[in-house]
Amino acid sequence: MDKKEIGYHIFATVYKICCIFPKKKNRVFLVMTHDASKEGNVGVVRNYLNAGETEWEFCPLRRQDTDFSKGELLSKLVRFFIRKPYELATSSYIFQDNIFLPMAFLKFKKEVKVVQLWHGTGTIKKFGQDVNTGRLKELEQRANDTITHLIVNAEEWKKTYSHIFGVDEKRVFVTGMPRTDILFQEEEQEKRVEQFYERHPELIGKKIVLYAPTFRDQALGKQTIALDLDKMVKRLPKEVVIGLRLHPFVANQFQYEGVEKERVVDFSHEENLNTLLFASSALITDYSSIAFEYVVMNKPIYFYAYDLEEFSDHGRGFYEDYESYVPGYVSKTTEVLLDQMEEMEKNPDIARKWEKKRREFQEKNYGFCDGNSTRRLIRLLDME
């Protein structure tokens, strides 16, 4: 048994002791270990409940709560192994944006609602029970057995997510993902864009092309990215700025030192990802679920899949044929990507073709386009 699993057992033991305390009907435990921001699925739910008439008590668990490598070790241990099990044992609602493996050793009373709000609106690449193996697969399945409500964005995803999490389809509900509500709120989007340019007045009048790639394990410790930024800067029009949205592990090490440095802007630490989506004129990504949100913007999406064969054959793999599924050009070199961007800009027929593909992609992956997904979820759970 490794150290992590010993920790899971300690957490579970304290949880079981704390079950002697009564549940608090308005206490909500929030597993926000993937996205602790206000824009993540769990954060949106929290904001919605806060705005209502009922007074809720929220107990968040963030990624830093599980990191014992830096300072204040004793207080962190007490918080994680005593306070958090007590809060979880006395909560009536649990919202998750990730898998919390100590739950593999926990049991909840029937009246407790355990809601899995996975952090992606949809998925291109495989994950969960479809890729995990060994002990991790076993523990994750046991943790998933506690789920009472698995939330998806469209009917299209019920069967797939049922398999990914190993739960019966009867526990999968199509309410739409809370994080998508803002994608259908034009006034809020305009407000966010205005605030963005107040923070970045130097970008007024510029066109932002946002590059947001998937994190790859092999990128850890490297100070480079696959996109040739020098070529991008040289070929794209002067008014185009390349915005970078990199994983923190990469962003903390990478710095562009090429020509016209002012045309490459690192937004990796920008707090609100949605604001970047609203302010940008196009997106370059690869296998990230960000495409499922950006498609609603009805702006060009380019898929720079330079390692497509490697990712498909030796990585996670895909649920669909990648090149025919994604709603945008696929390229494997920066030169081809630039050619595609120029063609999209110059050829109206090509632009209309991809606009149609984006609309079809949205219709397939969105059960609701009304901005009321959070309300549907809360009503499903009888929380208002």
In tens, the pLDDT along 174-216 reads 999 999 999 999 999 999 999 999 999 999 999 999 999 987 7
pLDDT of residue 264: 95
Q: pLDDT tens across 355-371, in order?
A: 999 999 999 999 999 99
pLDDT mean over 23-39:
95
DSSP structure string for 169-195: GGGEEES--GGGGGGG-HHHHHHHHHH
Q: pLDDT tens across 85-95, in order?
A: 999 999 999 99
User: Which residues touch 83 (CB under 8 Å, ≥6 apart)?
Assistant: none
pLDDT band at 163 (very low <50, low <70, confident <90, very high): very high
pLDDT of residue 236: 96
User: Has residue 5 got a pLDDT over 60?
Assistant: yes
User: Has residue 100 got a pLDDT over 90?
Assistant: yes
pLDDT mean over 333-342:
98
Alpha-carbon span 377 to 149, nearest angstrom: 10
Alpha-carbon span 59 to 23, nearest angstrom: 13
pLDDT of residue 223: 55
pLDDT of residue 384: 84
pLDDT of residue 72: 85
pLDDT mean over 275-299:
96
pLDDT band at 61 (very low <50, low <70, confident <90, very high): very high
Distances in whole angstroms, Cα of residue 82 to Cα of each of 9, 74, 86, 273: 13, 11, 6, 34
pLDDT band at 97 (very low <50, low <70, confident <90, very high): very high
Q: Above pLDDT 70, what percent of the chain?
A: 97
Q: pLDDT tens across 10-24, in order?
A: 999 999 999 999 999
Alpha-carbon span 31 to 98, nearest angstrom: 7
Per the document, the length of the chain is 384
User: Which residues touch 296 (CB under 8 Å, ≥6 apart)?
Assistant: 180, 183, 184, 362, 366, 369
pLDDT band at 343 (very low <50, low <70, confident <90, very high): very high
pLDDT of residue 246: 87
pLDDT of residue 259: 77
pLDDT of residue 247: 77
Q: Above pLDDT 90, what percent of the chain?
A: 86
pLDDT mean over 305-330:
91
pLDDT of residue 311: 87
Where on the phi/psi map is residue 295: left (φ > 0), alpha (ψ -120 to 50), or beta?
A: alpha
User: Has residue 220 got a pLDDT over 70?
Assistant: no
